[in-house]
Structure 1
């Protein structure tokens, strides 16, 4: 079997790290004060790391410090003596040191993030340090030098976005282009602040020395704090929607966990069909609230199974659900998806088609016992031409197949 892309990336990062470490040990550490200062900055940045689904760059200070060290050509007016190998070695050692508390608490991150960090820093250092050591940039003063640093950092960010999307594609099998769009869309946020801070740090140290590091770290730390608060608000917003969706379960209209399962599977199907991250968020919220119209019924539907009801009754419940959603102040797009989930699939938006297929699958598989999932998928295939969107049913089959393969490969992983 050919190795997967993420394995190849990890091996390349390990080879670069090992070669850099060997070269540094052989030649010794140059400018030890600068190496210690930047290593301390990266370590502090890793200690302040905080991950989450809404945080693309969990350790912006560490990323900015790593890139600025790779672009450091002068220290207080004198030429810097370190090379690209020392840059990679210092960044790797500081990153590993700063990750120790996270690993000890059991929330250590996967290998993809450090591998990307090593490759990005190595790329920038290899492009800049050899030429800077030979004096190639001595005549690049003022704006030209600043533009050079920003160009290198921008190229590095683009390459890292492509690499992140490719790694996700290798691990999940999801379409590459939508994930690349999500990565590129995230660049104007905290990533732009990281790039700008990295360039400013390198320029500041070149003029005033290492005291520039703590001065230019403060704005990025404040931006990181603001971004975390934004992520916390988004998480609270989702929790509020999930709590509203549980009203049907508490009232006995739907089985426990039904909305959560439909939302998780709908998001996976949407990923397979190429929806972007903002579209997936709307889809997930609509899937969580797709049954909320049942609260308007006098007599509950048995087991909350709306897929077996007549089409006119399904549409009535969907319209009632949309009216309820509009009263909650949720995104109007969510209400439109809830309202149209019972329309003919040829007239539905893609998100409504996904919710309808996944909801029917969840209800049919729940009723079918041990063989329910396979029977439910076969029922959807047979009815796809007239009732359910065939492309969504096919995407659901692919997602279920990947989930089965992953469960066999990682039997102890909670899903």
Structure 2
């Protein structure tokens, strides 16, 4: 079944948490600019240097797996400016509102070339980056004078401890905010989304935070030259993450290309694999599957019919739901064997191999994996309802799966499919 989408204003109405995050960040950005324009900038050269670093970092933002936009250099520069106590031995006196104003201008200048080129950012990700700096800045800058080396009772360890604590708090704040936005967008459980965000941001988040602290501490001795010296390691980390994201994207593009072979050869209906994949992911989200499991599910759903390429006589209309159980098992086994030849998708191959089994299992291996049960339901819905199915026909198909008397379809998965389809229809 085709999953309808809303865009623009409709998406804004569908995602109030995302709108709230963007609105709060915009209020802080506008307020900081207004306050700083009224009160005036201090240490303009330092503000300019950090503003340029933030803008260049935002310009070089990257998209990680899961469509997560990050700007490591910009975020580290913003954190460094927040934690800056002295520059070349001279105490700095910029307020937290000036920090937010410089970060706002830097983000805006960094995004302008992307917008001009038609690559609009994911505004909720930009807003999250802003909110992290808001949390850290408003908690740190009021104590900057006390923590500065120029104060009478200065010790280095309270400043470092506070910096490290606030980096951790900022990271957790970002993970919670990202999880709320992601759970709302994918219609999954907030706890599952939170765990996914923690895993996704752990390595890079710590690299960004530690780099920001190093920039602030190094600038105490080296001055503005510390910006270049301690940004370099983060650039290397960013390149590594970019390559990782490119490899993941290449994997997905390759799998999608393979899934179209069955359509081009006339073995399945046009768009069948993509529709099954979309519905399977929606069901997986309803069931609270982890992001890594959803990725494997997407791969398996796209290639679930690839075993039909080995058939001498194609299944009528490519609808395996009408094939005999023995034929279904043969198609699944052949498809699994093809996928295993890649050498890196064994777990995906296992999902494909067991997709035709009853949900309680039919051998010594026990029940099939959840991903296999999801693919079985998603494939049956699309085989029976087709691409342009109306609501009544889809409901009839779901009722048929509910009334299955041979234990073929997992009732929990069928109900999750009903909820996913209902949400998709409501968003239309």
Alignment TM-score, normalising by the size of structure 1: 0.91
The answer to whether the aligner puts 1:352 opposite 2:364 as a matched pair is no
- CA separation of 1:65/1:55 partners in 2, compared to 1, >3 Å: closer, same or farther? farther
Q: Separation in 2 of the partners of 1:126 and 1:35?
A: 17
Question: Which of 243, 254, 260 is the matching residue for 1:240?
Answer: 254
The answer to whether the aligner puts 1:331 opposite 2:351 as a matched pair is no
TM superposition shift of 1:164? 0.8
- Structure 1 counterpart of 2:222: 208
Q: C-alpha offsets along residues 260-306 of structure 1, whole Å, 9 cap, x if unaligned?
A: 22122212221221111111111111111111221222211011101
TM superposition shift of 1:378? 3.0
- CA separation of 1:352/1:384 partners in 2, compared to 1, >3 Å: closer, same or farther? farther
- CA separation of 1:171/1:318 partners in 2, compared to 1, >3 Å: closer, same or farther? closer
Structure 1: tracts of 5 or more residues without a match:
408-415
Q: Separation in 2 of the partners of 1:170 and 1:282?
A: 21
TM superposition shift of 1:136? 7.3
Q: Separation in 2 of the partners of 1:367 and 1:396?
A: 16
TM superposition shift of 1:314? 1.5
Cα contact 1:384–1:393 (8 A) shared by 2: no
The answer to whether the aligner puts 1:182 opposite 2:196 as a matched pair is yes
TM superposition shift of 1:337? 0.9
- 1:329 is paired with a residue whose SS is coil
Cα contact 1:337–1:351 (8 A) shared by 2: yes
- Structure 1 counterpart of 2:55: 43
Q: Separation in 2 of the partners of 1:3 and 1:281?
A: 23
1:267-278 matched pairs, under 5 angstroms = 267-278=281-292
- CA separation of 1:93/1:296 partners in 2, compared to 1, >3 Å: closer, same or farther? same
Cα contact 1:73–1:129 (8 A) shared by 2: no
Question: Which of 295, 299, 302 is the matching residue for 2:309?
Answer: 295
1:11-410 matched pairs, under 5 angstroms = 11-54=23-66, 56-135=68-147, 138=151, 139=153, 141-346=155-360, 347-366=367-386, 369-370=389-390, 372-383=393-404, 386-407=407-428
Q: Separation in 1 of the partners of 2:310 and 2:14?
A: 55
Cα contact 2:359–2:410 (8 A) shared by 1: yes
TM superposition shift of 1:61? 0.7
- 313-322 vs 367-376, which moves further: 367-376
Cα contact 1:291–1:321 (8 A) shared by 2: yes
Structure 2: tracts of 5 or more residues without a match:
1-12, 361-366
Q: Separation in 1 of the partners of 2:348 and 2:143?
A: 54
- CA separation of 1:274/1:384 partners in 2, compared to 1, >3 Å: closer, same or farther? farther
- 2:70 is paired with a residue whose SS is coil
Cα contact 2:256–2:302 (8 A) shared by 1: yes
- 1:51 is paired with a residue whose SS is strand
- 2:386 is paired with a residue whose SS is helix
- 1:253 is paired with a residue whose SS is coil
Q: C-alpha offsets along residues 202-245 of structure 1, whole Å, 9 cap, x if unaligned?
A: 11112211111112222212221221112111211222222222
How many corresponding residue pairs?
A: 407
Q: Separation in 1 of the partners of 2:401 and 2:158?
A: 62
- 333-342 vs 144-153, which moves further: 144-153
Q: C-alpha offsets along residues 92-117 of structure 1, whole Å, 9 cap, x if unaligned?
A: 11101111111122221232122212
Q: Separation in 2 of the partners of 1:230 and 1:369?
A: 39
Cα contact 2:187–2:285 (8 A) shared by 1: no
Cα contact 1:384–1:390 (8 A) shared by 2: no
- CA separation of 1:2/1:317 partners in 2, compared to 1, >3 Å: closer, same or farther? closer
Cα contact 2:15–2:184 (8 A) shared by 1: no
Q: C-alpha offsets along residues 245-264 of structure 1, whole Å, 9 cap, x if unaligned?
A: 22222322112222122122
Cα contact 2:88–2:223 (8 A) shared by 1: yes
CA RMSD of aligned residues (A): 2.3
TM superposition shift of 1:330? 3.7
TM superposition shift of 1:2? 12
Cα contact 1:266–1:287 (8 A) shared by 2: yes
TM superposition shift of 1:54? 4.8
Give the number of the structure with larger relative contact order, counting CA–CA contacts within 8 Å between residues 6 or more apart: 2
- 359-368 vs 331-340, which moves further: 359-368
- 84-93 vs 221-230, which moves further: 221-230
TM superposition shift of 1:29? 0.4
- 2:62 is paired with a residue whose SS is coil
Q: Separation in 2 of the partners of 1:336 and 1:172?
A: 25
- CA separation of 1:199/1:136 partners in 2, compared to 1, >3 Å: closer, same or farther? closer
